[in-house]
Structure 1
Amino acid sequence: MFVRTVYVTGDPTKIDTAIRALNTEGRELLEERPGYRGAGVFVDRDLGKLLGVSWWETAEARQNSDEVMRGRRDALLGPFAGTLTVENFEAVVYQPLQPPRMGGGLRVTRVEFDPADADLVAETFRSTVLPRLETLPGLATTGLLIDRERGTGQVGTLFVDRDSMVVSRAGQAAARHEGVAKAHVSVVGLEEFEVVHTDVHVG
């Protein structure tokens, strides 16, 4: 599958307005597009950060949908958005284990690597990191998104509740340390979000 992320920062007091817009009109617009496979909305209410993620059957479907969504983002995100960044990725690993829950937690690890090492990064995640992550209590879903041309990626770990996410920090840190060493990856960001909505169909 292919993924588009929309990363927005703004006034924390206005974030609920953006959430409502994405969960109503925004979701309706996405569901109308061919090749749509699901979406998620994740927030950090304290700092005023919002991460929107949409999933697509093909890169072409993702691109075609962006032509529609690009013209609607300013209106949907309204007074909240101070900055907005859109990125595109390939989902090279996606492992659902149990249904996520609203109010759960998402940890995002942002990475950079030599584009020539893209396959090494994917294989290391599958063989080394994924088996360790799957042992973490409360893990709902995990996956690796990469941009092969730019040499950037994100590891997403979704937990059924915030307590499970907090408890997992040491375990995931150990898995991250091992994976980084084997795959020649640099970690450039580590963030945690509240799950507002997520629904992805992979079948």
Structure 2
Amino acid sequence: MFVRAVYATGDPALLDTAVRSVNNQGRDLLEERPGYRGAGVFADREAGTLLTVSWWETEEARHNSDAVMRERRGALLEPFAGTVAVANYEAAVFHQIAHPRQGGGLRVTRLEFDPRDADLVVDTFRATVVPRTEALPGLSGVSLLVDRERGRGLGNTLFLDRASLAASRAAVAAVRHEASAKAHLDVVGLEELEVVHADVRFA
């Protein structure tokens, strides 16, 4: 599948307004688009960051949906969003163990790598990260989103609750160190976000 990620930052005091708008009107708009397969809404209420991720059957479906969403995105995110960045990815790995819950936790690891190493990154994530993390208490799932052309990606671990997310930090740090060395990639960012909504359908 293919993914569009929208990352917005702004005044934390205005974040809840954007969360409600994205989680209601935004989701209704997405549901109407052909090829839509689910979405996630994640927030850091203290820092004032909002990440929305939509999942699509094909690149074409994602592209076609963006014509509508681009027009509506500003209104959905105001007055919160001071900055908005949009990125497109291939969902190279998606391993779900349990359905995510509202109030759970998402750890996002931002990656950069030589585009020529994209297959190595995917293979390493599948062979190292997935088996090393799937037994972690409270894990809901792991995924790897990659932009092969630009050499960028998001490695994600999703937990059923924030306590499990916090308890996993040391173990996941060790896996991150091992995987980055094997795949010749750089970790350029690390964030932990609250799960507001998450649902991906494969059938």
Q: TM-score, normalised by structure 1?
A: 0.99
Q: Which residue of 2 aligns with 1:118?
A: 118
Q: For residues 133 and 59 of structure 1, what CA distance do their matches in structure 2 show?
A: 29
Q: For residues 201 and 83 of structure 2, what CA distance do their matches in structure 1 show?
A: 29
Q: 1:180 aligned to 2:180?
A: yes
Q: Which amino acid aligns with 2:112?
A: E
Q: For residues 7 and 129 of structure 1, what CA distance do their matches in structure 2 show?
A: 24
Q: Which residue of 1 aligns with 2:32?
A: 32
Cα offset, 1:128, TM superposition: 1.2
Q: 1:96 aligned to 2:96?
A: yes
Q: Partner of 2:109: helix, strand, or coil?
A: strand
- Range that drifts further, 131-140 or 184-193: 131-140
Q: For residues 100 and 30 of structure 2, what CA distance do their matches in structure 1 show?
A: 20
Cα offset, 1:135, TM superposition: 1.7
Give per-residue Cα distances to partners, 1:100-123, cap 9 Å, x unaligned.
110000000000000000000000
Cα offset, 1:21, TM superposition: 0.6
Q: Which residue of 2 aligns with 1:169?
A: 169
Cα offset, 1:168, TM superposition: 0.2
Once the two structures are superposed, the pairs formed by residues 53-202 of structure 1 within 5 Å of their partners are 53-202=53-202
Task: Give every structure 1 segment of 4 or more consecutive aligned residues whose post-TM-superposition deviation is greater than 4 Å.
Answer: none
Cα offset, 1:142, TM superposition: 0.6
Identity %, equivalent residues? 67
Give per-residue Cα distances to partners, 1:127-180, cap 9 Å, x unaligned.
111100112111001100000000000001100000000000000001100000
Q: Partner of 1:149: helix, strand, or coil?
A: coil
Q: 1:42 aligned to 2:36?
A: no
Structure 2 residue ranges without an equivalent (≥5): none
Q: Which amino acid aligns with 2:73?
A: R
Q: Partner of 2:135: helix, strand, or coil?
A: coil
Q: For residues 125 and 81 of structure 1, what CA distance do their matches in structure 2 show?
A: 33
Q: Partner of 1:79: helix, strand, or coil?
A: coil
Q: For residues 162 and 81 of structure 1, what CA distance do their matches in structure 2 show?
A: 25
Q: Partner of 1:98: helix, strand, or coil?
A: coil
Cα offset, 1:124, TM superposition: 0.5
Q: TM-score, normalised by structure 2?
A: 0.99
Quote the RMSD (CA, aligned, Å): 0.5
Q: For residues 202 and 97 of structure 2, what CA distance do their matches in structure 1 show?
A: 13
Structure 1 residue ranges without an equivalent (≥5): none
Q: For residues 180 and 156 of structure 2, what CA distance do their matches in structure 1 show?
A: 15
Q: Which amino acid aligns with 1:11?
A: D
- Range that drifts further, 38-47 or 126-135: 126-135
Cα offset, 1:99, TM superposition: 1.1
